[in-house]
Amino acid sequence: MKIRASFLLELAVNLILPWLAYRLAAPHWGETGGLIASAVPPLVWSVLELVRFRRVDALSAMVLLGIVLSIAAMALGGSPRMLLLRESLVSGAIGVAFLISLAMRKPLMFYLARATVAREMEHGAARIDALWLERPAFRSALRTMSVIWGAGLTGETALRTWMAMTWPIERFLVVSPFIGYGIYGALLLWTLWYRKGMRQRTASGSEHANGITG
């Protein structure tokens, strides 16, 4: 229950409060002021996480990146159709980051998994570090997840870019949220399925090893 409550609080701070801050501030300070106001909740949360745990919250960092890119697009005088894409800028940037990180010693998914487990259990970061060193299958799984998420997020951005440039704006506004949430939902379901299979394979491997040594 503590983990679930913490996760719900994180979602509220990074998703609901920025939207609420934007809706309250935009009528008074315009769209730019609303976007700046929406950055306050995840920024405060990141500072608290840094002070308490000496780490930056990954979800907050992604939300802040999206807000910064949105403000940059407006500052550059983007057209209405370009502004339609501001919500996809962050997902596209993260998707590219996932794919680029495959060329590094540790992919981006490793750091996201490490931050998540460190928040959920004591010595979680050390546990992930040990798995990375001891389990080749674990390293392969994180790279596979980085590939799927990278391809999914960049594909979502490419699809919404095509829609924004070719469809009427009203149709885009109606259909686009279903496209985005549908792709995110599919990626999350795939991740849950893949993690379950990975845990089962790990458990089977441990039982097999115990049978050999027993």
For residue 167, give both structure tokens.
């469809």
d(CA 51, CA 166): 46
The band of 153, judged by pLDDT with boundaries at 50, 70 and 90, is very high
Dihedral angle, C-alpha 19, 25, 27, 33, nearest 10 °? -100
d(CA 134, CA 131): 5
Question: Domain-by-domain residue ranges, the chain?
Answer: 1-77, 79-208
pLDDT at 145 over 90: yes
- What type of residue sits at position 197? G
d(CA 168, CA 142): 39
- What type of residue sits at position 9? L
- What type of residue sits at position 56? V
The distance from CA 213 to its chain's CA centroid, rounded to whole angstroms, is 41
Mean of pLDDT values over 182-188: 86
d(CA 202, CA 1): 26
Q: Is the pTM of this model over 0.85?
A: no
Report the mean per-residue pLDDT for the chain.
Answer: 77
The band of 139, judged by pLDDT with boundaries at 50, 70 and 90, is very high
